[in-house]
Amino acid sequence: MINKIYDNDKKNAYFTILFCSLVLLQLLLLFYFGNQKKGFFIDELWSYNLSNSYMFPFIGDAKDYFGRWLPSSFFLDSLTVQPDQKFEYGSVFASQAADVHPPLYYYLFHTISSLTRGVFSKWQGLILNFIFFAGNQFILWKISNQLIKDKIISLFIVAFYGFSVSALSTFLIIRMYALLTFFTLLITYLIILFDRKKRIPIALCVAITLSYFLGFHTQYYFVIYAFFISAFYCIFLLLIKKYNKLFIFISCTLLGIFSSIICFTPSLHHIFDGYRGKEAFSNFGSAGFIQKVDYYLNAQLSQSIFLLLFGLSSILLLFLLLRKFVKFEYSKTESRLLVICDFSFKPYLRFEISSDRILIGIIFLASLISYLFVVQLSSITDVRYIYFVVPLLDLVAVSIFFNISGLLIKKKITLYFIFFLILLSFSASNIRTNNIHWIHKKEGQAIELVKNTQDSRIIYIDKNEFWWPTMAYFNFFINAKEVEMITENNISKIKLPKNIDRVFIVISRFCNKQNIIKYLNEKLNLKDAKVIYEDWHGQVYELSK
């Protein structure tokens, strides 16, 4: 007995070392791609501004700052914590009340920035994300061990997700999606633990309540997943008549959500009256759902393993059904193939479903429905919005493929080898810098040009005097000497020092670029104009003599 316990402990230690080594390798890969990251998406820059600009979120009207030259330090200060403004969480609260997102991620980001005052670096956001990544992989490992009970397959689940384009992109964008994924996994794991317990400890109730509270304070999409997994689990408890557990679980979830609303009352405005909330409700009944789903699924084909494994599982299942109900007999004398279909069933069927598979089914339904809801509700078609359910879909897909293929292949070592080949081929074909999102390599090259130009000046031209989409180019602004923001109607007022022979022009997508460049060529006597960078928000030109 003692030897058996010792052997189990030794085996668990061995798999723990393997898991830690795997996550360390994935973290090294994240650091590699993090080092390749050269620019920022507009929302990433807002992560810095809303977290760190003291009582001055760059939202809405910016007319007081248009029409005059501003030093680059003005923009840099808006992205960093100043020496006398560290740990000012009241400012973060106020900024998020004015914005459209809850504040938890911004509190954490502000904490990191307060520890590195006056510094603007991608590593502030990336290190925070990498910490979440380690936590995510640990919880995913724990969930897999609880539900699948095969530690090697659990390692494959961690590997499939951690080496996927979806995972790498989730933790390379400096936004709240990494933290959202963490709480999505955490609440799933806590529900599994809750289901395992005959007597519910107070600590577990507190953990569930706190997870709902913190998840709500991270991103409102958390509520969608939390609602569906909670609803399906409650139905399960009702069916098996565990009324006492049902009451405790509902009490924990409601306490978590209602306390979240009380602590951050602007959330009600964000959800029901804010512009993003109104867009979501408007999108809910809008057309184009099939086209959206088609876009997301096509995008996910090369980013996550779950679609491939679901497809392979379907093929294997079809083969098993054909083998069970269809027989083929070839007649040599008549030279023809006889197909015999026997779909007869016994009048009385009795089968059992383990609680593990029921929980996997609940997780699958909650993840899939959340995926589809987010696809329909989001105003912008972008896969970053569904990142948070991808690890759970990967887990379900691996579990289904493992169980179905196990009906055909009895030797587990053969199954493990098949999983290894799939992992190797899928990862090797997709993990490239060009496939990973949020690297912004071309932006980095353009910024280097601005940075290396002596006394570089940038003129930003937009149709209106708003911070959006000005924020998209703050990474350019902080690397110039001075910046002037001006409207398209006022470009005749632009004045440059006489000794300037090069200037950078950023033109918003809302303006007539050709007319503006033609006018500035003549006015500034800078005839050579070339595009050095362009994105969805506009174009950056270099004008020189």
User: What are the structure tokens assigned to 308, written together?
Assistant: 């491939």
User: What are the structure tokens assigned to 454, written together?
Assistant: 């002596």
- Tokens 């603007």 — which residue? 120
- 424-450 average pLDDT score: 89
Alpha helices in 99-176 (DSSP H): 104-115, 122-147, 151-162, 165-170
Q: Note the pLDDT of residue 207.
A: 98
- 506-535 average pLDDT score: 91
Give pLDDT tens digits for 210-222.
Answer: 999 999 999 999 9
Give pLDDT tens digits for 361-411.
Answer: 999 999 999 999 999 999 888 999 999 999 999 999 999 999 999 999 989
**138, pLDDT greater than 90:** yes
Proportion of the chain above pLDDT 70, given as a percent: 96
Question: pLDDT band at 348, cuts 50/70/90?
Answer: low
- 113-130 average pLDDT score: 97
Q: Note the pLDDT of residue 50.
A: 97
CA 257/CA 211 separation, integer angstroms = 10
Q: Note the pLDDT of residue 528.
A: 86
- Of 326 and 164, the structure prediction assigns the larger pLDDT to 164
Q: Note the pLDDT of residue 340.
A: 74
Complete DSSP assignment for 384-397: GGGGGGHHHHHHHH
Give pLDDT tens digits for 145-162.
Answer: 999 989 999 999 999 999
CA 467/CA 483 separation, integer angstroms = 14
- How does the average pLDDT of the chain come out, rounded? 92
Q: Note the pLDDT of residue 7.
A: 61
Question: pLDDT band at 109, cuts 50/70/90?
Answer: very high
Return the percent helix, strand and coil in the chain, to nearest 5. 65, 10, 25
Q: Note the pLDDT of residue 418.
A: 96
* Contact call for residues 111 and 87 (beta carbons, < 8 A): yes
Q: Note the pLDDT of residue 379.
A: 86
Alpha helices in 240-354 (DSSP H): 243-263, 266-272, 275-284, 289-300, 306-325
- Which run of H or E residues covers position 485? strand 482-487
CA 354/CA 193 separation, integer angstroms = 16
CA 411/CA 391 separation, integer angstroms = 27
Q: Note the pLDDT of residue 1.
A: 52
Proportion of the chain above pLDDT 90, given as a percent: 78
For residue 347, cis peptide bond before it (omega within 30 degrees of 0): no
Does pTM surpass 0.75?
Answer: yes
- Tokens 């956001």 — which residue? 125
Complete DSSP assignment for 5-64: HHHHHHHHHHHHHHHHHHHHHHHHHHHHHHHH-----HHHHHHHHHHHSTT----SB-GG
The dihedrals phi and psi of 79, each to the nearest 5 degrees, come to: -110, -5
Q: Note the pLDDT of residue 285.
A: 80
- 305-334 average pLDDT score: 84
Q: Note the pLDDT of residue 232.
A: 98
- Tokens 């959340």 — which residue? 370
Q: Note the pLDDT of residue 522.
A: 85
- 470-499 average pLDDT score: 93
Q: Note the pLDDT of residue 332.
A: 67
- Packing angle between helix 289-300 and helix 355-377, nearest 10 degrees? 120
Of these ranges, 63-72, 315-324, 345-354, the one predicted with the greatest mean pLDDT is 63-72
CA 172/CA 439 separation, integer angstroms = 8
Q: What's the gap between Cα 315 and its chain centre?
A: 30
Q: Where are the domains of the chain?
A: 1-36+124-308+354-433, 42-120+440-544
Give pLDDT tens digits for 407-426.
Answer: 999 899 999 999 999 999 99
Q: Note the pLDDT of residue 172.
A: 97
Q: Note the pLDDT of residue 69.
A: 95
